[in-house]
């Protein structure tokens, strides 16, 4: 077991390196980088940006009439700007160094979990991520727990009663829930229950009401959970369908195998057959799908929900950072998400052994 875990951890190094290298390479060819945006703002006489770049230098680096454009500059927005100003902007964003040197410095800093500062916000990247983390943790963790907590028992019940009326109408409900996009469900919930056109039962913005920090803990907790009802409902319907049907099909497949018939012939009850023999075999597929579902719910699947319900989390942060070319935030979140996904995948493999101790990790290559 120890050797297998060590191999998996060592494999994470080239995997993360490859992800970061490909992403870094793409950004080198992506138009509209931070330097180009700064130059475009300056060309458009953006005073606040000019003061930010030149305020401490005491000099006026704006090109004078007659200086002409920067014919040797690689930036389209540099026409009419002095070379000294272009160099200052490149240095501010760290683009005065060769790409390989910048990539090496980034990796070295990331190994020490030093993610630098945001280009456009007066805050370090790690503090910015910490600031947005509560929203993503709340959405991802609660949605995953509720989805698996409801879907697995429901899937087992549907497998046992396959073809019954209960199986048919529950399948209809979960398939409809899966077919309807989450953002449409969110809008419908707002119209119905958040003061849109009918009832005003649930709050619409944030994770807490104004002044909730000063409330007693039980009221604070209730307010927190009350704010999560609509976002979690909107996010969870698709996850319910996927996990429920996967659980049902996995259990049906196992129930039809020979070892189940043998267990029944030995006089075991249906619950003993189901939970002592079928459960650990059928759950293998569920566990295998957990890492992708968790990471997706935690980081990738909440952008529209965060936007609709005015929740400022990592999904919205990542989108805004990519749109504004805030590369320190983009690369830091990518690095953290990739690392977390690999760790969760390893934990998922270890959960296999917990469900089925017959698995021998030591005999596996990786």
Domain extents in the chain: 31-98, 125-363
pLDDT score of 99 more than 80: yes
Q: What is the predicted pLDDT for the residue at 300?
A: 56
Integer Cα distance of 70 and 199 in angstroms: 60
The predicted pLDDT at position 22 comes to: 92
pTM above 0.85, yes or no: no
Partner residues linked to 117 by β-bridges: 124
Rg over alpha carbons for the chain, rounded to the nearest Å, is 27
For the ranges 70-74, 264-268, 312-316, the lowest mean pLDDT is seen at 70-74
Domain covering 125-363, topology: MetI-like fold (1.10.3720)
Distances (CA, A) of 8 to 3, 5, 347: 9, 5, 11
Please state the length of the chain: 366
Q: What confidence score (pLDDT) does residue 169 get? A: 92
Q: Check if the beta carbon of residue 167 is closer than 8 Å to that of residue 258.
A: no
Banded model confidence at residue 357, pLDDT cuts 50, 70, 90: low
CA distances from 359 to 91, 264, 350 (A): 54, 24, 10
Residues 6+ apart with CB under 8 A from 355: 280, 283, 284, 287
Q: What is the pLDDT of residue 341?
A: 81
Of 344, 332, 338, 272, residue with least CA distance to 116: 332
User: Could you give the 3-state DSSP secondary structure of residue 95?
Assistant: coil
Angle between helices 327-355 and 99-111 (to 10 degrees): 50
For residue 205, pLDDT over 60 is answered with yes
- pLDDT category at 15 given cuts 50, 70, 90 is very high
51-90 burial: b if 16+ Cβ within 10 Å, else e: eebbeeeeeebebeeeeeebeeeebebbebbbeebbebbb
Distance CA 119, CA 5 (A): 38
- The strand pairing partners of 194, in sequence order, are 200
Return d(Cα 181, Cα 259) in angstroms, integer: 41
Q: What is the dihedral of CA 304, 308, 310, 315, to 10 degrees?
A: 0
């Amino acid at each position: 077991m120890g050797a297998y875990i060590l191999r998996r951890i060592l494999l994470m190094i080239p995997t993360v390196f490859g992800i970061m290298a490909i992403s870094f390479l793409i950004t080198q060819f992506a138009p509209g980088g931070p330097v180009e945006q700064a130059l475009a703002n300056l060309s458009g006489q953006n005073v606040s940006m000019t003061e930010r770049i030149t305020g401490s230098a005491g000099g006026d680096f704006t090109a004078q009439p007659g200086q002409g454009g920067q014919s040797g500059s690689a930036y389209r927005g540099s026409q009419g700007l002095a070379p000294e100003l272009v160099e200052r902007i490149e240095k501010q964003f760290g683009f005065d160094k060769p790409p390989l040197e910048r990539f090496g410095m980034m990796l070295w800093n990331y190994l020490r979990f030093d993610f630098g500062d945001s280009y456009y916000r007066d805050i370090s990247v790690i503090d910015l991520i910490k600031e947005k983390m509560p929203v993503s943790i709340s959405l991802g963790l609660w949605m995953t727990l509720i989805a698996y907590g409801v879907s697995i028992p429901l899937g087992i019940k549907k497998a046992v009663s396959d073809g019954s009326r209960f199986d048919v109408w529950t399948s209809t409900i979960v398939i409809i829930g899966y077919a309807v996009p989450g953002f449409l469900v969110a809008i419908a919930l707002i119209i119905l229950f958040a003061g849109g056109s009918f009832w005003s039962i649930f709050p619409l913005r944030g994770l807490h009401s104004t002044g909730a920090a000063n409330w007693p803990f039980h009221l604070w907790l209730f307010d927190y959970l009350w704010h999560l009802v609509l976002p979690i409902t909107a996010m969870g319907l698709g996850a319910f369908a996927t996990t429920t049907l996967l659980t049902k099909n996995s259990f049906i497949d196992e129930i039809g195998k020979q070892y189940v018939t043998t267990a029944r012939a030995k006089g075991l009850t249906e619950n003993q057959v189901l939970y002592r023999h079928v459960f650990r075999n059928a759950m293998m597929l569920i566990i295998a799908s957990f890492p992708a579902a968790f990471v997706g719910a935690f980081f990738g699947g909440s952008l529209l929900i965060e936007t609709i319900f005015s929740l400022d989390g990592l999904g919205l942060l990542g989108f805004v950072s990519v749109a504004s070319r805030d590369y320190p935030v983009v690369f830091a979140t990518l690095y953290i998400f990739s690392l977390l996904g690999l760790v969760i995948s390893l934990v998922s493999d270890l959960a296999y052994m917990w469900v089925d101790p017959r698995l021998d990790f030591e005999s596996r290559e990786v």
